[in-house]
Amino acid sequence: MAPVKKKIAIMTSGGDSPGMNGVVRACVRMALHMGCDAYCVYEGYEGLVRGGDYIRKMAWDDVRGWLSEGGTLIGTARCMEFYERPGRLTGAKNMVLNGIDALIICGGDGSLTGADKFRAEWPSLLDELVEKKELTKDQVAPYKHLNIVGTVGSIDNDMSGTDATIGGYSALSRICEMVDYIEATASSHSRAFVIEVMGRHCGWLALMAGVATGADFVFIPEKPREDNWKEEMCSIVQKHRSLGKRKTIVIIAEGAHDKYSNKITPEMIKDLLADPKGLHLDTRITTLGHVQRGGTAVAYDRMLATLQGVEAVKAVLEATPETETCFIAITENKIVRRPLMQAVIDTKAVAKAIEAQDFDKAMSLRDTEFADQYASYMLTTTANLSTQFQLPKDKRMKIGFINVGAPAGGMNAAIRAGVAYCISRGHEPVAIHNGFAGFARHHGDSPLGAVRSFDWLEVDGWASKGGSEIGTNRELPKESGMEHIASLVKKYKFDALFLIGGFEAFHAVSQLRIAREEFPSLRIPMTVLPATISNNVPGTEYSIGSDTCLNELIDYCDKIKQSASAARRRVFVIETQGGRSGYVATLAGLGVGAVAVYTPEEGVSLGMLEADVRHLKDVFAKDKGQSRAGRLILINEKASKVYTAKLIADIIREEAHDHFESRDSIPGHVQQGGVPSPMDRCRAARLAIKCIQHLENFGRDAADRVMSDPMSSTVIGIRGASVVFTPMKEAEEKETDWANRRPIDEHWMYMKGTVDILGGRPAYPKPE
Ligand code: ATP
């Protein structure tokens, strides 16, 4: 693809963010893979201005193990000189002296503004260098066009034109971890905590943390509360307390203010909550500060960093002098190139709109998920306290909630949000315990009490709880006895069913849908929210729980890799879950830098193993002990009936002839995760509310409409940036590979090639 060999430099700039190292690793390796030279500019623009040792040529192994490192290993700095033309002039000279013809920058909007200015000025900078006799005409001749590509590394997730910035979800994860800790002490002492998080112009971190932790109140810059915010906050906290809640959490973005731009500080909130004449709560302030930046990147950021780094190199190589400067974004789950300056202008427009107190505009400039999350937050924490959202009595429904399949992170968060929404509308949310097996066998007066109404306080603390609080089971309705299930639905007078679970939940709705012909009690609306670590449910690109699983897996793999630092020459073959879908193995491979990933979609063959063993032999022959961590191979549990993780590890050991060794390792149920990831929790809340709203559209006694409307049995999904309901019949017939229990079209398949390239895996014979 590369017409000429280029020298591509990579730099990190502005505030550091988790995932920057992943971008550098991906850029360096992809550049080398494409036959180019790779350079790193150390210390951001400072390094470009200083030149010399700040600009270093990079080799493949120089970036080994970088995916799991926090911060940025090539340093970053705020560089005053680069704001001025003389600083940029020196930078240009250093680029030419090092022969660099393309620059990839990972940073925030400031860094990318600087980059665009540099590119625009480039021809005049070269002229000036020749004029001042610092460089000759011949020296600058090959560098007429500067090629710049940006990637957005920022914890605030504040850049327009992209759904996520590299580092945003890692920072959110750290915040939620801290809030979870604080909640324990808040609850023990019945205290209130005011927690300040980063975000001067962007409330994304505060809002998402509020949704993920079920905070009582949040303050964000884009959407200040009404004039009576003090009374509103106190009355909500008071109501929550009167319902029996022992803890109060208020999350405030550092840029919070009221509608008139008067700053709202954590101290002001503390004074209100602690007021002896009012709530009189024992209140503390916690400012999270720099811990929010700290630590290794979460799975999502590693994926983003890697895919964007690869795309940045491609963009550099495909650019012509006429190409507009771009940055790499993620929209609709796809990695895309977007005009850089427009995004910078739009980003600045949000801050301007906030300044001008045009908050509707500020909100409209954020993506749809932001607005949706704001709505879900308001619906789950405040709406239930007022009667204004309640439906007339004849429209209120009795909705059964049921988990089917294995537990997955976010199931409880989905139930919490669904229940809160139901209560706000006047519906009766009912728990069906332990799946269809529980429903069928423990109904009636059983001590296990399979069918029970939820109350708000019971579920309020579930936002961060892992597993399934109402219990789950794999049994399908047909196995429990369809006639029996239909009679129970009739007995309990359910008006709708809300299923949360994996492929079994999908299958269960399919069975119930078909059984409607025979059993009139099943002529009620039903919808399934995909929740499984395997991410193998048709109708969606993302199932809740899969992000938690990936985080557990990369955490596990990082530790295993590190454990090899003493022994050094070791290969680990790790078996992942995922059923017949290679999603988890592939994405984890992308996140930890595996040398090979074996999936059920591709299978495993002797020829493939032979090629991989030969590659490992080469790798260890060249490695004189400089690389500290072990190598990883990931294999999905169903990739092969014969070649198990243990057998592959044995083959490698046998072939290695003591030059290196090999072990197998099976994380097993650890992959279901402890505390669900914030992404799973937030998406669970958003999707659950949409599910109940969808069911609500049908109302009670809707048997005729149910039988004629394909939308009466659906699966909800995230496809690209949109949330969509797909009729079950369509999903079953057109999108499902029933034999392999996965979607026919798996959106993530293209990532497999990236894992192979960046792991340095040579071409191998594909299994037949
Ligand atoms: P963060 O989101 O963490 O704030 P950022 O990239 O926006 O990251 P800045 O401090 O704004 O961080 O910018 C980083 C560096 O980029 C600056 O120190 C400066 O060297 C360069 N830079 C920023 N804005 C410009 C500009 N308008 N012109 C030239 N250089 C700039």
Question: Does the pLDDT at position 1 exceed 50?
Answer: no
Angle made by CA atoms 320, 333, 638, in degrees to the nearest 5: 115
Name the helix (H) or strand (E) containing 597.
strand 596-598
Percentage of the chain lying above the pLDDT 70 cut: 96
Question: Does the pLDDT at position 565 exceed 80?
Answer: no
Q: Which atom of ligand 1 is nearest to the CA of 16?
A: 3
Question: Does the pLDDT at position 675 exceed 80?
Answer: yes
Dig out the tokens for 549 from the structure. Answer: 């699983």
The tens digit of pLDDT for each residue in 345-375 reads 999 999 999 999 999 999 988 877 888 899 8
pTM for the whole structure: 0.94
Q: Taking residues 249-271, report their average pLDDT.
A: 96
Of 43, 82, 103, 111, the residue with max ligand 1 atoms within 8 A of its CB, to mutate for a pocket test, comes to 111
Cα(15) to centroid(ligand 1), Å: 9
User: Helices in 492-644 by DSSP H: which ranges?
Assistant: 503-515, 546-567, 583-592, 606-622
Is 455 known to be catalytic? no
Instruction: Dump strand ranges (E) for 689-734.
Output: 713-719, 722-727
Instruction: Tell me what pLDDT residue 388 has.
Output: 75
Question: Does the pLDDT at position 446 exceed 60?
Answer: no
Instruction: Tell me what pLDDT residue 448 has.
Output: 54
d(CA 706, CA 62): 61
Q: Is 24 helix (H, G, I), strand (E, B) or coil?
A: helix
Q: Taking residues 527-547, report their average pLDDT.
A: 97
In terms of residues, how long is the chain? 768
Q: Taking residues 473-487, report their average pLDDT.
A: 96
For residue 217, give the nearest of 171, 289, 291, 268 by alpha carbon. 268
Q: Taking residues 380-403, report their average pLDDT.
A: 85
HSE, side-chain direction, 13 A CA sphere, residue 768: 1
Cα(104) to centroid(ligand 1), Å: 15
The tens digit of pLDDT for each residue in 611-670 reads 999 999 998 888 776 655 679 999 999 999 999 999 999 999 999 998 888 999 999 888
Q: 331: pLDDT confidence band, cut at 50, 70 and 90?
A: confident
Dig out the tokens for 97 from the structure. Answer: 């002296």
Q: 567: pLDDT confidence band, cut at 50, 70 and 90?
A: low
Nearest CA to ligand 1 atom 12: 14
d(CA 381, CA 620): 56
- State the ipTM, two decimals: 0.93
**How does 682-698 read in b/e, with b if 16+ C-beta sit within 10 Å?**
bbbbbbbbbbbebbbeb
Name the DSSP class of 225: P
Cα(107) to centroid(ligand 1), Å: 8
Dig out the tokens for 13 from the structure. Answer: 């700039």
The tens digit of pLDDT for each residue in 724-735 reads 999 999 999 999
Alpha-carbon 668 to chain mean position: 22
Strand partners, 287: 196
Lowest-confidence segment of 263-267, 672-676, 690-694 by average pLDDT: 672-676
Dig out the tokens for 225 from the structure. Answer: 């509360």
Q: Taking residues 160-179, report their average pLDDT.
A: 94
Q: Are 147 and 36 in contact (CB under 8 A)?
A: no
φ, ψ dihedrals at 263, nearest 5°: -60, 140
Residues 6+ apart with CB under 8 A from 50: 43, 94
Q: Of 156, 460, 555, 612, which residue is the catalytic one?
A: 156
Which of 689 and 243 is assigned the larger pLDDT? 689
Asked whether 13 lines ligand 1 (CB < 6 A), one says: yes
Name the DSSP class of 232: H
The tens digit of pLDDT for each residue in 527-536 reads 999 999 999 9
Question: Does the pLDDT at position 189 exceed 70?
Answer: yes
d(CA 595, CA 562): 16
CB atoms within 10 A of CB 51: 16
Name the helix (H) or strand (E) containing 426.
none
